[in-house]
Amino acid sequence: MTHAELESGDGLVTVRRRTCRKIMRRAVASAMLSFLVANAGAATDISVSAPAIQARIVDAVDHERKAYGAGGIVPGVLVGVWDGENHSFIRGFGTSDLQTGRPFSPDDHVRIGSITKTFVVSVLLQLVDEGKLSLDDPLSKFDLGVAVPNADHITLRELCQMRSGLFNVFELPQFRNYVPPNSVWEPRQLIRWAVERKPYFAPGRGYHYSNTNYFLLGLVIEVVTGQSVQQAIVTRLLRPFKLDQTSYPATMEMPSPWAHGYAVKPGGGWTDISNIVPVSVVGAAGNMISNLWDMRRWLEFYVGGKTNGPATQKSRLDCIPSGQDNMSFGLGVQCSGDWLGYTGGLPGYSTAAYRYPGGNMTVVVFALNFERNEDPTMADSILRDIAAIVTPGHVPFAAQSAGK
């Protein structure tokens, strides 16, 4: 939203409309969740190959496409669900490109946003395994080329857990408008702007989601490895694990095939906003691109402890309650309803990739629509609905979606 919208009468109407849409969406989501849980049956022996289960998933996705469509229907959603018996349900809904009408395919690449953080933490944990740093090292130990107040008392662990208290740079006024796509941003400058603001709390004394933490972790990786974050992720994760369809791009170009991201036009309809956020402004906090197949495999790798050692994996999955309903946060992993994974959101793209280890269940959701400060995101709502069907006793984001 622009400053002009906030200051004008039309802007206030826009705010009210968005608020009303959110209230209505949450009310309908609460009713939908209750219905899904009541009709899901027992949590055990649920197979995603069953036609009745698949029909419920389709109904849930169709519901959310309308709920988030602002009077229309969200252009495209891609869903992949895999159960413990190696059954799968993979379905594209709508289109990946309104101009051509091409169906949304599992091969399509999307911007995965903050799921990038799972890769950053995985590199960091490898460095811990190699004895090159400790999770309890203070930030001041590393010469990052940028001064951070109280760095002696902020640990790498707290940065990973979103418990540093550092101000989130993307909450600054200069990011209320979408920045020019071709602009170039330096992480140290973003950090400088963030640390000029008062911290939310003293290190370790609370939880607040802050992308500033991951810009700092990216710099730590660069200092310790002598590589860029991009190089470290490619050489340590993408190549060894053969994630050939996943990338940390240096330009705005998307690999083919790719799905376009959309936003609702003020007068109705949809506008393409696929490439409006420069890759340098999101960096280690949200720069990466992937597709459905690689996201499924990546979940199995990092949630399953295959990217690092047992001790660091135990630390990764030590999830601390965030104070936000049933969501806890570990080292670059979100834990909710016994599901483990991460959510991403960039203009035009809402993504969620989670695994339920108790039932060996995996769900990946890509939605081609995202509004700032969406709570829950569209992808999270669909994930929640699917979990209510396949693991009814273990539903992520249930409380927040019910309007609490």
pLDDT of residue 71: 87
Query: DSSP alpha helices (H): ranges in 39-173?
Result: 51-67, 116-129, 156-160
pLDDT digits (tens, 9 = 90+) for 215-249: 999 999 999 999 999 999 999 999 999 999 999 99
- Residue 6: DSSP 8-state: H
Domain boundaries, the chain: 30-94+108-401
**pLDDT of 96:** 98
Which pLDDT score, from 0 to 100, does residue 168 have?
A: 97
* Helical spans, DSSP H, in 130-259: 156-160, 187-195, 212-225, 229-233
Spatial separation of the C-alpha atoms in residues 235 and 41, rounded to whole Å: 45
Order of strands across the sheet that contains 339-346? 102-103, 88-97, 76-82, 361-367, 349-356, 339-346, 334-336, 327-329, 320-324
CA angle, residues 104, 118, 147, in degrees to nearest 5: 125
Q: Are 336 and 327 in contact (CB under 8 A)?
A: yes
Round to the nearest angstrom and report the end-to-end CA distance of the chain. Answer: 25
pLDDT at residue number 400: 52
Question: Domain 30-94+108-401, what fold?
Answer: Beta-lactamase (3.40.710)
From first to last of its 404 residues, what are the pLDDT tens digits of the chain? Answer: 222 222 222 222 233 334 444 444 554 454 455 555 445 444 446 899 999 999 999 999 999 999 999 889 999 999 999 999 999 999 999 999 999 999 999 999 999 999 999 999 999 999 999 999 999 999 999 999 999 999 999 999 999 999 999 999 999 988 877 688 878 999 999 999 999 999 999 999 999 999 999 999 999 999 999 999 999 999 999 999 999 999 999 999 999 999 999 999 988 899 999 999 999 999 999 999 999 999 999 999 999 999 999 999 999 999 999 998 899 999 999 999 999 999 999 999 999 999 999 999 999 999 999 877 678 999 999 999 999 999 999 999 986 544 33
Q: What pTM value is reported for the model?
A: 0.89
Dihedral angle computed from the Cα positions of residues 151, 154, 155 and 159, in that order, rounded to the nearest 10 degrees: -110
Name the amino acid, one letter, at 333: V
Round to whole Å and give the CA distance between 77 and 104. 7
Cα–Cα–Cα angle for 197, 192, 204, rounded to 5 degrees: 60
Cα-atom radius of gyration of the chain, to the nearest Å?
A: 20
Write down the pLDDT at residue 372. 72
Q: Which tokens belong to 149?
A: 């107040």
Q: What is the pLDDT of residues 341-399, one digit of tens each?
A: 999 999 999 999 999 999 999 999 999 998 776 789 999 999 999 999 999 999 999 86
Q: Which residue type is seen at 340?
A: L
Q: Are 74 and 369 in contact (CB under 8 A)?
A: yes
